Amino acid sequence: MKLKFIALTGALLLTVASAQDTQTFDLRILETTDLHTSALGYDYYQDKPTGEFGLEYTATLINQARAEKRNTLLFDNGDLIQGNPLGDYVARVNPLKAGQQHPMHAAMKVLGYNAATLGNHEFNYGLPYLDQVLKQAPMPVVTANVYRDNGKGEPGENAYTPYTIQRHTIYDTSGRPAIINVGVIGFTPPQIVNWDKAWLQGKIVTGDAVQAAQKFVPEMKAKGADIIVALAHGGINAEYTPGMENFAAALTTVPGIDVILSGHSHLEFPGSTYKSIPGANLEKGTINGKPVMMAGFWGNNLGVTDLKLSFNRQAQRWTITDAQSTLRPIWDKTNKKSLVSPDPRIAEAVKAAHEGTLAYVRAKVADLSTPINSYWALVQDDPSVQLVSAAQTAYVKKALADTKYKDLPVLSAAAPFKAGGRSGASYYTDIPAGTLAIKNVADLYVYPNTVQAVLVKGSDIKEWLERSAGQFKQIDPSSKTPQALVDDSFPTYNFDVIDGVTYEIDVTQPSKYDSKGQVANAGASRIKNLMYQGTPIDPNQEFVVATNNYRASGGGSFPGLTGQNIILQAPDETRQALISYFQEQKTVNPSADNNWKLTPIPGATLLVVSSPNAQKYLPTGVTFMKTRDDGFAEYELKW
């Protein structure tokens, strides 16, 4: 009997020791992504404050989230230094001095970010500027799939630090400390070498994100990383293909990666957009069982992932036992009000840059005779797009005047950048008559692209427009039910309008190209009555098309545009071409020449979404229906 008592006591002691060897922890991971220099809730294009976006508002959510959980890490997922006039101001107008910190980094220093990665727009201003910015970054910046060009167009050494392993003291649910090694690795879209070819060719090359992860994650584990967070500046696509742009979901299949912070697409995960993604659990915010976040854009959401961790002290092993990802918005879309107050420390950190930006954007360029808006740019030919085309055409004709291309006809391709969509109901150009200022030019053309020109044939023009016509859904002409016209998944910056020719778009036909730019319906033709100077376009006639570096180098996957037929790579940004064009005119008279239109569908009713403000400029055949809870308004188009 005594021996049994001793044995039982020993078993109890072993059980107690085993319980003491295991600790339970809560670890919160916070994400911002695609801030695009939106330190403040300030619309530089409309020159007024807003509560719909801005890191100063997200900062308050960060403060609250930290107050709720003792163990918290904060990361940024890229596209930080470009995106609005503040980014242009510190990159071009009043360049950063040696040793000066970028205002976005000054704001992030206040908040104590743990690490960040590079987005594709980090490369828009060139490598010297990016290197200058990164030298003063207040946190490690990691990117694993960008390499130095070895001189043969092949990957050499990593251009940036691929990963970091950070040692953190965290506290369990009883208040006891432990050390955890958190590995952080970053990835950017491989397509940057095409999108910013003028800056990057011969200097860097890129690789597949998943393959880079498969290389480095085992190395990180071998060096002691207990958990690994992937900062994935790529969207969420269902299927993995090597070299893909939107690779975040694919990273969930890489052993050793525990948390994926995504971005780039300016969408939200967890969210209904991704309900059909294989392995997605929107209630838990996971894909293939791993927590994933995508926190919108411009600081409109804070991404929050809460991990439950178990630590076996004897085995020195960390285990994630549960995870939950959620998004916290800063703006109530239904009631159109801020959900939090701004953190005043952010405004103080960027005060000088903000004030300088305001002085810059308010400078006069010309007089404007009538208003300009982009509310109906997806329904009819639009002056906001026409002005860009006119400026590009004038620039290219002048640049080619003394070249062998001088006698070729010059066309121009431009797209409506601000046409609502995923950026919200306020994301439209709306410039009143009067003074045309720098802020209005930036409103017309929001990207720091440069002017380029390509040499194409008439047959290429047709295919270019067929790809562009993927903006629209296919309409059943026999249906009496209202049908949505615009495919919201198609980014409006890929809806190129080509000026200098006339044409119709027949949306009763299927799109020839799919969302990736691949031929989906080989026999389909939406482009009708394509004419040059009043006669059907000659498929073999040569044309010069003025465009931008993104499109000319293959951005958007347009047929015939791979960077091989570029005949002009101008040093000037398109916005500078616009400014020069407007200054020469002195008074700008915006108008559209109606060179394209939708082929009428008698008897059909099409649903179109735009801003409620678009009611002031209703096209013929369009009727206002209602304003939705998300801020957009619905309209009906009939012939």
**CA-to-CA dists, residue 545 to 47, 390, 409, 536, angstroms:** 34, 12, 8, 18
3 state DSSP class of 324: strand
The number of beta carbons lying within 10 Å of the beta carbon of residue 573 is: 20
**Element (DSSP H or E) covering residue 319:** strand 317-329
For 412-474, the three-class secondary structure string (H helix, E strand, C coil) is EEECCCCECHHHCCCCECEECCEEEEHHHHHHHCCCCCEEEEEEEEHHHHHHHHHHHHHHECC
Determine contact, residues 144/163, Cβ cutoff 8 Å: yes
**pLDDT for residue 16 is more than 80:** no
Tokens at 155, concatenated: 């990957």
Choice between 6 and 605, residue whose per-residue pLDDT is larger = 605
CA distance 3 to 9: 10
**pLDDT for residue 240 is more than 50:** yes
Those residues with Cβ within 8 angstroms of residue 633's Cβ, 6 or more apart along the chain or in another chain: 425, 609, 610, 611, 612, 614, 615, 624, 625, 626, 627
Please report the pLDDT score of residue 20 as a whole number.
64
Kindly write down the DSSP assignment for every residue of 231-276, as one continuous string: EE-S-B-SS--TT-S-BHHHHTTSTT--EEEE-SS--EESSGGGTT
Q: What is the mean pLDDT of residues 55-60?
A: 98
Tokens at 527, concatenated: 């482009």
Please report the pLDDT score of residue 520 as a whole number.
95
Tokens at 492, concatenated: 């409006």
Determine contact, residues 258/14, Cβ cutoff 8 Å: no
Taking Cα atoms as reference points, which of 243, 244, 242, 250 lies closest to residue 292? 250
Q: State residue 371 phi and psi, 5-degree precision.
A: -65, 155
Tokens at 296, concatenated: 């919108």
Q: How would residue 515 be classed by pLDDT, with cut points 50, 70 and 90?
A: confident
For tokens 């078993």, name the residue: 11
CA distance 232 to 553: 24
Please report the pLDDT score of residue 132 as a whole number.
97
Q: State residue 560 phi and psi, 5-degree precision.
A: 85, 0
Please report the pLDDT score of residue 2 as a whole number.
42
Neighbour-count burial for 576-586, b at 16+ CB within 10 Å, e otherwise: bbbbbbbeebe
**pLDDT for residue 19 is more than 70:** no
Instruction: Look at strands 72-76 and 22-32 and give their pairing.
Output: parallel
**pLDDT for residue 11 is more than 50:** no
Q: Which residues pair with 232 in a beta bridge?
A: 187, 262
Kindly write down the DSSP assignment for every residue of 94-124, as one continuous string: SPPPTTPPPHHHHHHHHHT--EE---GGGGT
- Per residue in 342-367, pLDDT (tens digit) is 999 999 999 999 999 999 999 999 99
State the amino acid at position 121 in one-letter form. H
pTM for the whole thing?
Answer: 0.84
Does 155 sit behind a cis peptide bond, omega within 30 degrees of 0 on the bond before it? Answer: no
Q: What is the mean pLDDT of residues 602-616?
A: 96
3 state DSSP class of 590: coil
Alpha-carbon torsion (88, 340, 51, 494), positive or negative: positive
**Element (DSSP H or E) covering residue 359:** helix 351-361
How many residues in the chain? 639
Q: State residue 550 phi and psi, 5-degree precision.
A: -65, -50
The number of beta carbons lying within 10 Å of the beta carbon of residue 516 is: 11
Query: What's the N-to-C CA distance of the chain in angstroms?
Result: 98
Tokens at 476, concatenated: 């059943």
Please report the pLDDT score of residue 1 as a whole number.
40
Those residues with Cβ within 8 angstroms of residue 526's Cβ, 6 or more apart along the chain or in another chain: 466, 469, 472, 505, 506, 507, 509, 510, 511, 512
Alpha-carbon torsion (516, 520, 522, 527), positive or negative: negative
**pLDDT for residue 26 is more than 60:** yes
Q: Within its chain, how far is the Cα of 506 from the centroid?
A: 30
Taking Cα atoms as reference points, which of 74, 42, 41 lies closest to residue 55? 41
Q: Average per-residue pLDDT in the chain?
A: 94
Please report the pLDDT score of residue 571 as a whole number.
75
CA distance 522 to 147: 38
Taking Cα atoms as reference points, which of 498, 592, 505 lies closest to residue 545? 498
Please report the pLDDT score of residue 507 as a whole number.
98
The number of beta carbons lying within 10 Å of the beta carbon of residue 163 is: 27
Instruction: Look at strands 72-76 and 115-116 and give their pairing.
Output: parallel
**pLDDT for residue 92 is more than 60:** yes
Taking Cα atoms as reference points, which of 180, 241, 179 lies closest to residue 209? 241
**CA-to-CA dists, residue 230 to 7, 290, 291, 325, angstroms:** 49, 11, 11, 15
Could you tell me what percent of the chain has a pLDDT over 70? 97
Taking Cα atoms as reference points, which of 259, 262, 324 lies closest to residue 294? 262
- In this predicted structure, which of 263-267, 283-287, 570-574, 613-617 has the lowest mean pLDDT? 570-574
- Per residue in 108-125, pLDDT (tens digit) is 999 999 999 999 999 999
Please report the pLDDT score of residue 238 as a whole number.
87
